[in-house]
Structure 1
Amino acid sequence: MIDAEITFRKLEIFLCYMQEETISRAANQLGISSVSVHRALHSLEEGMRCPLFTHKGRNLVPLPQAHRLAEHATEVLSKMHQGIDETRQIAGIGQGRVRIGTLYSLTLDTVPKLLMGLKLRRSELEVDLTMGSNSDLLHQLEHQKLHAILISVTDSDVDQHQYEVLPLFEDDIFLAAPKLSTLSDRHSVDLRSLKNEHFVSLNEGFATYHGFQEAFKIAGFAPKIVTRVNDIFSMVNLVQAGVGYTLLPGRLIHAYRDSIRILSLSSDYQMRQTIALVYAHNQQLDPNLLALVAEGRMYARRRSEKR
């Protein structure tokens, strides 16, 4: 059996020393302390159960067996690096392409800013963007079709033992009404006053759909839904056309404030969505995801400072 003291890291330090010939130069090359280099070489000798060096003053002079070990260590480390690269390539990790999933509504502001920052960090990176519902994006992440997703999360949505969750911002929900609606702008809206009105809705699986259902449970009636759609922009277009009312996250307000009416909900129906970046825990050291997470933290900080 190979002794536990013999590790890939120690072999890397050993090879660097064999090339640089002094502990100080090896330490500078590796970005570690001279003490760490000395300890690694001494520990490697213990694991090998034979001397590798003889002392000449403060220098360690390699013995013939050290040169033989270096030959095999070079081959082993080269093969292992190749194996790691091929394994990660099959998994789609660390390559020049990253697959990101997002809610449609985040493409107005959040996604463009994240992607612009990501390209500044890794200019060579190509991004494949997939848009879909909360449930669809989670499914694709679970089946490794996406590297990371931008969704609305609750504690029950994501297994935090399996996934990393980086909250970006919280978003309030509003009532969206046709421009010609007679509702007053001065007061928050009680949904019970709209019992006889028509509504448009997203299909099941979208984050806003679940909030829609919860709000009307509190109101105590089932809304008259005249049509359901698969993207939030189509839903807003239907409100613009006067087809009906709907509930809308605040992130869309600036884009549509001139074409529809955005009204606050009364306190009984007020709710928030937490928008977060979600990715697999076992991929958190992937360089592409590290860059995306760093940009996500910057975005979250800027949003927080604007409040």
Structure 2
Amino acid sequence: MAARIDEEITFRKLEILLAFLEAGSLARAADALGVSAVSVHRALHSLETGTRCSLFRLEGRNLQPNDAAHALADVAREVLQTMAQGIRSTREIAGYAADRIRIGSLYSLTSGTVPALIMALRLRKPDIQTELVLGSNSELLRKLRDGELDATIMGQPEGTPDIESQLLFEDEIFFAAPAGSPYAAQSAIDLAQCSDERFVSLNEGYVTHDRFRDAFRVAGFEPNVVMTTNDIFSLMNLVGGSIGCTLLPGRIRSVLPRSVCLVPLLPAFQMRQKISVSFLRTRERDPNLLSLLAACRSHAAERPLASG
């Protein structure tokens, strides 16, 4: 078992020792550290207590270090440098104040929201490297909790006291149908009248899938889902290929194929998604996340909360 170090010896006192040796006097060391000369003297005397040997001698009114003090100082420099590097490495592994940030996102947010946030983040932290991971709401939430992601841009999770979220915008859900179908000419869709229609859907775990199920629960029937996918862009193409209709968020309108149209739902069936940036509440003081939050607030201020 390694010998125990006396509790009188601390990193702070070792820093004071190095400052005293560099400054050459109690007064100059105190000025450099922003403390009183009495505090410096007390810390140096405490090191003598902790090492159980003399480290200084008095020459008149001046305190002079002996060979033992210089030997301790040599070790202190190495210890403090090693500890500082260890703390940096620890924080980088945990994602705190590292030179990279790992962001998870829904596929549907990569056409506008995610690039805008990344550019806004880089304006604040030009040297930061961004790693983007795509997935469903449930996948991203799991990776966030497992420490594989620093933040997520996704549907705002509910019932998650360990998660902090910053709302970006709310998105309306629309009925998506082939452009040449009879639905395209309607001003609003009565979902209750679509029980004989074929539908395509995202798989479970996506916030759009959840709103899809919520809408049909209100309509009072189980939709005939003929195909599912993990990619919202593939989902749009399935609709455009007349495989089936679906429900899609308004944010994808700018990348919608010509073969697909979005039609509002009647008020009884209207659904909305809250899109937020989320991160672990224990990380709320992380500098990278604070910069990301600032970028998010700027982005949210530039657009209405209701999107679609």
TM-score greater than 0.5 by the shorter chain? yes
State TM-score, norm by structure 2. 0.77
Change (3 A) 1:126 1:186: same
Change in 2 beyond 3 A, CA 1:151/1:184: closer
Query: Offset at 1:133?
Result: 0.8
Contact 2:178 2:184 in 1 (8 A): no
Q: Which residue of 1 aligns with 2:149?
A: 146
CA shift for structure 1 position 79: 2.6
Q: Percent identity?
A: 41
The alignment partner of 2:176 has SS state of strand
Structure 2 residue 132 is the aligned partner of structure 1 residue 126: no
Distance of aligned partners of 1:280 and 1:263 in 2 relative to their CA distance in 1, 3 Å threshold: same
Aligned equivalent of 2:115, options 112, 115, 138: 112
Distance 1:237 1:13 in 2: 67
Structure 2 Cα separation of the partners of residues 276 and 38 of structure 1:
51
C-alpha distance in 1 between matches for 2:283 and 2:19: 29
Give the 5 Å matches for 1:278-289: 278-289=278-289
User: Does the Cα contact within 8 Å between 1:165 and 1:276 map onto a contact in 2?
Assistant: yes
SS in 1 for 2:130: strand
- Corresponding pairs, count: 293
1:233 paired residue number:
233
Contact 1:201 1:246 in 2 (8 A): yes
Secondary structure, aligned partner of 1:140: helix
2:142 aligned partner, one-letter code? H
* Secondary structure, aligned partner of 1:268: helix
**Whole-Å Cα distance in 2 between the matches of residues 196 and 19 of structure 1?**
84
* 8 Å contact kept, 2:13–2:47: no
**Structural mapping, 1:1-307, within 5 Å:** 8=11, 12=15, 15-16=18-19, 19=22, 22=28, 26=32, 34=34, 41=40, 44=43, 64=65, 73-91=76-94, 93-156=96-159, 158=160, 160-161=161-162, 163-183=163-183, 187-256=187-256, 258-304=258-304
Once residues 187 and 92 of structure 1 are traced to their aligned partners in structure 2, the CA distance between those partners, rounded to angstroms, is 49
CA contact (8 A) 2:30 2:37 kept: no
Partners of 2:40 and 2:297 in 1: CA distance = 40
Return the TM-score normalized by structure 1.
0.77
**1:105–1:251 contact (8 Å) kept in structure 2:** yes
Counterpart Cα distance in 1 of 2:305 and 2:272? 19
RMSD: 3.7
Distance of 2:13 and 2:225 partners within structure 1: 66
Q: CA deviation at 1:124?
A: 3.3
Does the 8 Å CA contact 2:171/2:249 hold for their aligned counterparts? yes
For 1:265, what is the secondary structure of its paired residue?
coil
Q: CA deviation at 1:143?
A: 2.3
Q: In terms of mean alpha carbon deviation, does 101-110 or 61-70 score higher?
A: 61-70
* Aligned twin of 2:52: none
**Bigger mean CA offset, 178-187 vs 197-206:** 178-187
Residue type of the alignment partner of 1:249: P
Post-superposition Cα deviations, 1:99-124, rounded to whole Å, max 9, x if no partner, equal 22110001011111112223333333
CA distance in 2, matches of 1:106, 1:49: 61
For residues 40 and 214 of structure 1, the distance between their equivalents in structure 2, rounded to whole angstroms, comes to 66
User: Could you tell me how far 1:18 is from its partner in structure 2?
Assistant: 5.7
- CA separation of 1:23/1:274 partners in 2, compared to 1, >3 Å: closer, same or farther? farther
Distance in 2 (alpha carbons) for counterparts of 1:185 and 1:38 = 84
C-alpha distance in 1, partners of 2:167/2:10?
37
Letter in 1 for 2:207: A
Amino acid at match of 2:32: A
1: CA distance, partners of 2:113 / 2:37: 49
CA separation of 1:109/1:42 partners in 2, compared to 1, >3 Å: closer, same or farther? farther
| Residue pair 2:16, 2:44 contacting (<8 A) in 1 also | no
Q: Whole-Å Cα distance in 2 between the matches of residues 288 and 144 of structure 1? A: 15
